[in-house]
Structures are given as C-alpha cells and as structure tokens.
Amino acid sequence: MRVLIVVTSHDRLGATARRAGVWLESFAIGYYACLDAGLDVSICSPLGGPAPIDPLSDDRHAPSDVLRRYAGDEDARGDLADTLMLSQVFPADFAAVYYPAGRGALWDLPSDLESRSLITTFHASQRPCAFVGHGAAALINLRGADGAPLVAGRKLTAPKPEEDEALGLPADAPSLARGLTELGARYVAGPPHAPHSIRDGHWITGQNAASSAAVAKNLLEALS
C-alpha cells in the first residue's frame, strides 16, 4: 500500500524575502508514521526537485526525536531533496495522501491545478486525505461537479489567526480560518499551539504542526 506526501515548493512568505517552506517535523512525523506501519511512501511537490524547508522548523539546537532520526537518515533526506513533480503522479497508485504543515503552502497549493485534481480524485473515490496546519490551503479552491466548494458543510480545522501571527505571517497572508469558513466549512478550532485533529469522513485535518502525530494516527486508522 502506498501513501503520497505532498509538500510545498514555495520558499518565501508571499512576496517577501523571508524564507518559508515545508515544516520539517510535520513532514517527518507523517513520513515515519507511514514507513513504520509498513507502507511505501512517495514525496511530491508542485515544482518537483528539492523541497524548501521552513527555517523555523529546523531546530538544530534542541531537535526532537523525529528530527534526530531524519538528520541521520540519508534516504529520507534524499527523498525530500528530490521530490517528484505533482504532474508525474498517478493518483490510482496511492491509497492516501498527506499534506504536512508549512507556511509556504499558503502561496502555491491553493492555485496548483495538479494538487486540486489529485484531491478531487481521492475525494471521489473516498480515499483518506490528511492536511496539517497550512497544508489545508490545498482545500481552498476545490470545487465539486456542481461548482460548489468541496469544503462546504465539512467539519475542518486549520491554524487560528493568533497562530498565524505567532509564526510571523505577513498581514496580507491568507487566513485559512476565515477562508474555510467563508466557503461554508464548519471550522472548529482547539487551543492555540496545542494538538487538535478532526476527522470528517475520509478527510482529516490538524490545526497546526503540533497536530501532526494525531493526523498521522488518524490517517493510518482510516487506512486500516
């Protein structure tokens, strides 16, 4: 059984010079949860090639266990440094998809046509789709055959405005909490910076990077 991990290719906070990318720990938690469960994992991004890593997430002074594991894992580092392009991916090859957290996702995933096609294909076949933190930006522009937002009526979570502010997002950065709500989603938030995950059918969302382990656990349960 194969799981696809989709990471952002955007390496800046909007049009600023400040660096962004995928949240490394959120990626590593999903990656190793799937591998340790005996699943095959492939990694892709809109542009392919090296995935940018958010500098805020690469804590080399006090790394977590999962980051120490990643740092010593040549295969994992190689996978993230040579991602497939989303256009190279065949959705039929995968049983589930995992979008880790990452501030860069706000600027490339909502408009990426390949990502939108991937999720709508998984949604139509009721295969598990998991989104952590700003990875939920991939949900913003999804539409059904009738043109209605696919998030409408679904119970979802995403970063709260105070979490966005704490992460230093520009004032004009998209707010997922507001955007999902305006599209008709039933946005449900937990305490800021604490793990909070929601499963609504085959969709799983986590409020922030701290929710990555809970999202990965829910994804594996959905696959079982």
pLDDT in tens, 164-179: 999 999 988 999 999 9
- pLDDT tens-digit readout, 122-150: 999 999 999 999 999 999 999 988 999 99
pTM (2 d.p.): 0.97
Q: What is the pLDDT of residue 62?
A: 66
- Cα 88 to chain center, whole Å? 19
CATH code for the domain of 151? 3.40.50.880
Contacts of 150 (CB under 8 A, 6+ apart): 119, 120, 123, 139, 142, 143, 144
Domain count, the chain: 1
Structural domain boundaries enclosing 89: 2-223
Query: What pLDDT is recorded for position 14?
Result: 83
pLDDT tens profile 183-198? 999 999 999 999 999 9
How confident is the prediction for the chain on average, in pLDDT? 95
pLDDT-wise least confident of 62-71, 74-83, 96-105 = 62-71
Q: What is the pLDDT of residue 61?
A: 63
Instruction: Give the span between the Cα atoms of 89 and 86, in whole angstroms.
Output: 5
Q: What is the pLDDT of residues 53-64, one digit of tens each?
A: 999 998 766 689
pLDDT of residue 214: 98
Measured CA distances, 167 to 23, 134, 137, 172, 206 (Å): 11, 11, 16, 14, 16
**Proportion of the chain above pLDDT 90, given as a percent:** 92
